[in-house]
Amino acid sequence: MKKALIILIVLFGVFLAIGCAGEEERAPNETRAPEQTVTPAEAVTPTGEEETEIQTVTEMKEYTLEELAEYDGRNGKTYVAYQGQVYDVSNSDLWENGTHKGTHNAGKNLTEEMDDAPHGPEELKDYPVVGTLRE
């Protein structure tokens, strides 16, 4: 009986060590996702009643068209706007010197120009949202 107890304790220690191996420590609210604001959302409680929950993770910068124009690729940052969201495309090889394929310029709202593009707006999902556009 004593031998079985010792074996169980040793096995428990091994499983505990294996389960914890490779996990890196993180600060309580650390994630790898881009910073974004969580807007009010309707939630349904278990009783069926609706309640509104407001959570602000980080305030996103709100850009005017004039401010957005400053991020045309000449100052090291390349931003574009689409449907009210401002995207940082600075690290993209497709936006060299603030121009995309010679037809679209950074620092602008591309919502209307996207209709003429050979691809859809899904291409922007790979870039971080850095703010919203105020027109």
| pLDDT for the residue numbered 132 | 94
- CA dist., res. 120 & res. 97, Å (int): 22
| pLDDT for the residue numbered 63 | 93
**What is the tens place of the pLDDT at every residue in 7-66?**
878 877 776 677 655 555 555 545 455 555 444 444 445 555 555 544 444 678 999 999
CATH number (domain holding residue 89): 3.10.120.10
Average pLDDT on 103-112 reads: 87
Is the separation of the CB atoms in 110 and 82 below 8 Å?
yes
Q: Residue 2: inside a domain, yes or no?
A: no
Q: Residue 51: inside a domain, yes or no?
A: no
Q: Please state the separation of Cα 101 from the chain's center in Å.
A: 25
Q: Residue 28: inside a domain, yes or no?
A: no
Q: Please state the separation of Cα 60 from the chain's center in Å.
A: 12
| pLDDT for the residue numbered 98 | 80
Q: Residue 122: inside a domain, yes or no?
A: yes
Average pLDDT on 111-117 reads: 81
- CA dist., res. 128 & res. 1, Å (int): 59
Q: Residue 100: inside a domain, yes or no?
A: yes
**What is the tens place of the pLDDT at every residue in 60-106?**
899 999 999 999 988 889 999 999 999 999 988 888 778 787 778 89
Q: Which domain holds residue 110?
A: 61-133
- CA dist., res. 103 & res. 60, Å (int): 29
Please state the domain count of the chain.
Answer: 1
Q: Residue 128: inside a domain, yes or no?
A: yes
Q: Residue 80: inside a domain, yes or no?
A: yes
Q: Residue 10: inside a domain, yes or no?
A: no
| pLDDT for the residue numbered 39 | 47
Is the separation of the CB atoms in 58 and 35 below 8 Å?
yes
Is the separation of the CB atoms in 121 and 93 below 8 Å?
no
| pLDDT for the residue numbered 43 | 47
Entry pTM? 0.55
| pLDDT for the residue numbered 69 | 92
